[in-house]
Amino acid sequence: MTSASPSVVVFGSLHYDIMVHGPARPRKGETVTGDRWFPKCGGKGGNQAVSAAKTGIHSVMIGAVAEDDFGRALTDNLERNNVDHRFVKRLGGMASGMSVAIFDSEGDYGAVIVSGSNLTLGQSDVDTAAEAFAESALLILQNEVPDSANVAAAKAMKAVGGKVVLNAAPARPLSSELERLVDILVVNAIEAEQLADLPVVDTLAGAASAAKQLAGRFPVAVVTAGGEGVACATQHGEEFFIAAIKVKLVSTHGAGDEFTGVLAAELARGRDIRAAIGAANQAAAALVSTPRAD
């Protein structure tokens, strides 16, 4: 790595989100009358790149959008938030990634994503962005692009001596090749249930049990437990948890991405895992308690 100052590279998804608010999320076959909707630029990759950039670190996004209105909005959003987007490719003949998120009156949500151009990411995009890997201390990955693309990006980062953070969301099986390349795993309780193959409840005790088990497969495992807090375990036997900061919940949307982006930025600056989790926990608490501009 040749960069004189810390840098983070994010390889992953960009989605144009449609946010819908209603009294409750619909059950199967049910129609619910909502009260408002608005667009938002997202995708776990895009969100995490912006969250890292907000800490003041140099944040580089590697991704793919289409030559459509959604794609232009997504790259404009990266520009406004000081994310280096030189390596976001623009493609014709297809659609940009998008999602629909439906919120209930308690601020929780469910979402459907349509990956679109994100599914085109692969080795060629890693090769094109070789400069970004060489100048970065840490790589952030998510599960909204093909596993093979994540493997290619992780190999590139490890080749230059950097660290790999995987936010394994949405939950899906991971290839053994990708697992071997991950330095820090970040998951929520639902994702931990699948990866650890054990029942996990949204408590610190449940998160701690999952983190301990996952630390048998990953050097560092971080399991978030929503409003309860976050637990961490390492292959060296370190185990700890940090309680959630009590705030008035406005919306949980984007909390995991805020946590991951800030965690990665602090790790890239050289902070230890406990201090980085503490900073990420504070950032996520601020996000979920702040009203969003529509």
201-216 pLDDT per residue, tens: 678 888 999 999 999 9
Q: Tokens 């003041």 label which residue?
A: 56
Say how far apart CA 34 and CA 102 lie, in whole Å: 9
Say how far apart CA 54 and CA 209 lie, in whole Å: 32
Tell me how far the alpha carbon of residue 254 is from its chain's centroid. 9
CA torsion through residues 67, 69, 71, 76, sign: positive
Strand partners, 166: 141, 185
Say how far apart CA 32 and CA 29 lie, in whole Å: 10
Best CA proximity match to 6, nearest among 270, 289, 286: 270
The whole-number pLDDT of residue 1 equals: 46
- Angle between helix axes 189-196 and 204-214 (nearest 10 degrees) is 40
pTM: 0.91
Q: Which two tokens stand for residue 161?
A: 């001596």
Q: Nearest 5°: phi and psi at 26?
A: -70, 145
- The DSSP code for 251 is -
The whole-number pLDDT of residue 211 equals: 95
pLDDT mean values, one per 10 residues, the chain (294 residues): 75 96 92 94 96 97 98 98 98 96 85 94 98 96 97 98 96 95 95 84 86 96 89 96 74 78 97 95 77 57
Q: Tokens 């080749």 label which residue?
A: 159
**Which amino acid, 206?**
G
Say how far apart CA 45 and CA 22 lie, in whole Å: 27
Condensed to tens digits (0 to 9), the pLDDT of residues 7-20 reads: 999 999 999 999 99
Q: Tokens 């990634």 label which residue?
A: 97
In order of their start, the domains of the chain are: 7-182+245-288 (3.40.1190.20)
